Amino acid sequence: MKKTLILFTSFILCICVSSFAQDGLGDLFGGSLPETQLKDLNGKTINTAKLTNDGKPIIISFWATWCTPCKNELNTIQELYEDWQEETGVKLVAVSVDDQRTASRVTPYVDSRGWEYEILLDPNSDFKRAMGVNNIPHTFLVNGEGKIVYSHNNYAPGDENNLYEHLLKISQEKK
């Protein structure tokens, strides 16, 4: 009986720690974006620590062309993006983690979907590692002061509503 109780307690503890690791921000919560050098689709070097949006929020979404949930999330947000921008001034930065084998698919996919996001390329996953992203899709919300205030891993239909609620909350806090 005692062993069963210890195993059960250990199991529950593992679930709690795993859940925190996936959805929690850990050391990143309230911190600034780490500094890495990425390229945009025009080949311009972008310092991730200097991503700004004139004091307005930024959504950072890690994705890849081979990741169906990632594309579902970004395509769903695309349908809402114009309204979100008008209401909160948000900018979405979609960070592709496609490697050298699939990077050539990024621009055609972005163009075919008409995404108006800022697209950055992270072929060596430097920014992905610096942000503690283990799997994609992974979405972060950065407030107008450049602090990371929200993190969500994976995507299921309706998750965009939760993101929007957090977006509204930080937008209203600033006013």
pLDDT by residue for the chain (175 residues), tens digit each?
A: 565 544 444 443 333 333 333 444 566 778 899 999 999 999 999 999 999 999 999 999 999 999 999 999 999 999 999 999 999 999 999 999 999 999 999 999 999 999 999 999 999 999 999 999 999 999 999 999 999 999 999 999 999 999 999 999 999 886 5
What pLDDT is recorded for position 26?
61
CB atoms within 10 A of CB 10: 10
What pLDDT is recorded for position 151?
95
Coil, helix or strand at residue 3: helix
Q: What's the whole-model pTM score?
A: 0.84
- Exposed (0-12), middle (13-18) or buried (19+): which is 138, by Cβ within 10 Å? buried
